[in-house]
Amino acid sequence: MAWLRPYEPASTRSDLRLAAEAGLDSVRVFLPWEDAQPEPGTVDPAALGHLVDVADAAAEAKVELIVTLFVGHMSGVNWIPPWATGGADGDPRFRVIAGGRVQPAERGLRNWYSDPEIAGAQERLARAAAGALAGHSAVWAWDLGNENSNCTIPPDRLTADSWLERMTDAIRTADPGRPITLGMHMEDLEEDRRIGPAEAARHCDFVSMHGYPIYADWATGPTDHHLPPFLALVTRWLAGGADVLFEEFGLPTRPTRPTRPTGANDLRNPHLVDESSAATYTGLVLDGLRTAGCTGALLWCFADYVEALHDLPPLELATHERSFGLWRSNGSPKPALAEVTQRVQLEVMPPPATPWLDIDVEEFEASRREQLVRLYHRYRAAGAAEP
């Protein structure tokens, strides 16, 4: 979340070259909201200039970008401009960081969807960012946020629909013809958060899903590789058959060498797996997502956090967030990277039949979590998870 200020052009180019050399064709980048918009009426031209340089670097490396706005939720906390706090909204599970400091628990967020000033500021940022990158050859798609429902939830579907229409119109006016998506996650299927696959599909060009078995108490364990393809198929169903990009999956790994006696090195941390297990999981998930008809998949994330950041929020508490990378913090690749590289440039497969889907959408929405778990058992029993 500190990558844009100060911005390092050389590091950006080095990272993108590494990605390209590994065979990756797409990289998702995040526009830190506070850096890009220090005040609701202001979009920082320097931040936009850095973003343009990222796109130039991507073009040099021959990779394409998904540019994510309003970030927002990241690695277990919500990074929010100070002017967007002070309301009564927000998910109490997640700390809020504004102005470089963790905010008091009672300092909530202003609702993005119903607060006119916040929504107006977001439209201003979307239009400015899309205008700065309009027509750029390295930009593949725009993303309207990273798991936004972990920050605020629309009060109703009409407000949600209005927000989606407003943001997509702003981008399409400034950068016509560019695909747009919304970074949804598994909890948007488990609960009614009023912007889900159906709502996103009405306004976006494709839908995206994030899923991790370490966050699903109904998965069979941290390496349950059947879960992401199942979530992708449910997402497509709820979105009326729209194309699905599985925009995030991955596993945090235990360090291969002793560093500190606590935190990410704690072998009792149930989220952490060894690098070999993470590699096997990565390959199986990629195969499963392809069989599920996904248009592509992105790994969370590029590299582990360097140790110097481990004592800072969010990593001092969310220790498993330190080590999701395909590369270690010293720049060396983990075994999972080879599993990715050997699967690049495979053709997209058509979605499979889903005989295990034995209810209609209305029945699903009446008891989302219960139905999701029940359908997962049917999916597994049907053998549909096997590539």
**What was the pLDDT predicted at 285?**
98
d(CA 205, CA 55): 21
Hey, what are 26's tokens?
């797409």
Per-residue model confidence (pLDDT) at position 270: 85
| Model-wide pTM > 0.85 | yes
Q: Residue 108 in contact with residue 85, Cβ under 8 Å?
A: yes
Between CA 29 and CA 83 the distance in angstroms is 23
Helix (H) or strand (E) holding 348: none
Count Cβ atoms below 10 Å from residue 87 Cβ, excluding itself: 16
Give the pLDDT of the chain (387 residues) as one tens digit per residue.
Answer: 899 989 999 999 999 999 999 999 999 999 999 999 999 999 999 999 999 999 999 999 999 999 999 999 999 999 999 999 999 999 999 999 999 999 999 999 999 999 999 999 999 999 999 999 999 999 999 999 999 999 999 999 999 999 999 999 999 999 999 999 999 999 999 999 999 999 999 999 999 999 999 999 999 999 999 999 999 999 999 999 999 999 999 999 998 875 555 444 455 688 999 999 999 999 999 999 999 999 999 999 999 999 999 999 999 999 999 999 999 999 999 999 999 999 999 999 999 999 999 999 999 999 999 999 999 999 999 985 454
**What is the per-residue burial (b if ≥16 Cβ within 10 Å, else e) of 286-296?**
bbbbbbbbbeb
Q: What's the Cα-to-Cα distance from 115 to each of 18, 84, 86, 88, rounded to whole Å?
A: 42, 10, 12, 11
Residue 205: exposure state from Cβ atoms within 10 A (0-12, 13-18, ≥19): middle
d(CA 260, CA 307): 9
Residues 6+ apart with CB under 8 A from 372: 189, 190, 218, 234, 364
Whole-angstrom Cα distance, residue 221 to residue 270?
9
Cβ(110)–Cβ(151) below 8 Å? no
List, in order of start, the domains of the chain with CATH numbers: 9-352 (3.20.20.80)
35 DSSP assignment: H
Between helix 9-21 and helix 45-61 the angle, nearest 10°, is 30
From CA 30, how far away is CA 143, in angstroms rounded? 9
Residue 334 DSSP class: P
Q: Is 345 left (phi over 0), alpha (psi -120 to 50) or beta?
A: left
**CA dist 370 → 212, 222, 240, 367 (Å):** 18, 21, 21, 6
